[in-house]
Structure 1
């Protein structure tokens, strides 16, 4: 993998999982479901390939971080009175 692809992939996966998690939180009204799902994606990728390289682990963990951040953002919005979330 090229170093430019690696550097671009990290924020891309983070934003992608954050956006998907945020939409799931709004539609399903669950808080931690995206975090669990993104962790599940990581584990499925690990098992399906029989092991991952460090580059793949870093990229997928940035996606898990994006899922966790979407849950934290929705929780903060609910705490501040936004009932539509």
Structure 2
């Protein structure tokens, strides 16, 4: 499935041109926006796409908002990442 979505980052845009304002407000981590931009573009074509996450706890914060846009998050190591996320929420 290579080449389905062409993602081009503008010099200072951090994929802002590919995401609507709701997704820009939701995904604050600039380095993760490229994955969201690609998944969002595919979700518009297929109806649903999945991003696999192994260790970044931010994805728990964004999970419901992304789901509303047709993007699912598959937590690869939930037995490790969920306790880390919950610990982070207590701070």
TM bucket normalised to smaller: 0.3 to 0.5
Structure (1 or 2) with the larger CA radius of gyration? 1
User: 1 or 2, which has the higher strand percentage?
Assistant: 2
What TM-score results when the alignment is normalised by the length of structure 1? 0.32
User: 1 or 2, which has the higher helix percentage?
Assistant: 1
